[in-house]
Amino acid sequence: MRRRRPFRSWILLLVSLAALGYFGGRWAISIYYPLEYREIIFARAAEFQLSPYLVASVIRNESGFRPNATSSQGARGLMQIMPETGEWAARQLDLPYSQDLLYDPDYNVRLGCWYLSELKQEFAGELVLMLAAYNGGRGNVQKWLNNRQWTGEHHTLEQIPFQETRQYVSKVLRDYGRYERIYTNPDQRER
């Protein structure tokens, strides 16, 4: 027996299609690529010299913009900070630390941006390496490079030994490009 689509789904689909036509697609697309916590993201990205759209892409893939998200491994908050990493980052930034603070959006994004900036420095600004290290661990990335398991280049992502990390890097890069296209349009810049 074929299942019928609920009435609300049809309404949402029709509204999305209408918006797509009326607003040239950008508004409808931005529903799927939200920029929640915009002020926090832009402030912390600027503080650590990162693209806010990169940060938004990481958040979208890590937590789906849910500040109370907790992974099965215990990562917490918008940028899915592991408690040990959070404690280490807080010490480096001379901030107070508790695991509950990882659910605070500003605190979490601050630690996550600091960590991304550390990875940026460690991997000489190579975005693919930064993202792989953010997901798969900096030690693993160094090992893959040293053992020549992976060249560290974008076109060789399939060499990354961890499937989750391969997919993560690919999705974040895809979303980063989409965030830039959606939100850097002059009409969208100040929204």
pLDDT in tens for each of the 191 residues of the chain? 445 555 556 666 556 555 554 455 565 566 788 899 999 999 999 999 999 999 999 999 999 999 999 999 999 999 999 999 999 999 999 999 999 999 999 999 999 999 999 999 999 999 999 999 999 999 999 999 999 988 888 888 999 999 999 999 999 999 999 999 989 865 544 44
User: In the prediction, which pLDDT does 54 show?
Assistant: 98
pLDDT of residue 29: 67
C-alpha–C-alpha distance, residues 86 and 64, integer Å: 19
**Which residues are annotated as catalytic?**
62
Tell me, what's the pLDDT at 28? 54
Q: Which two tokens stand for residue 47?
A: 């503080």
pTM: 0.82
**Would you report the helix, strand and coil content of the chain in percent, each value rounded to 5?**
65, 0, 35
**CA dihedral sign, ordered 135, 136, 138, 144:** negative
Q: Is the dihedral of CA 74, 130, 164, 51 positive or negative?
A: positive
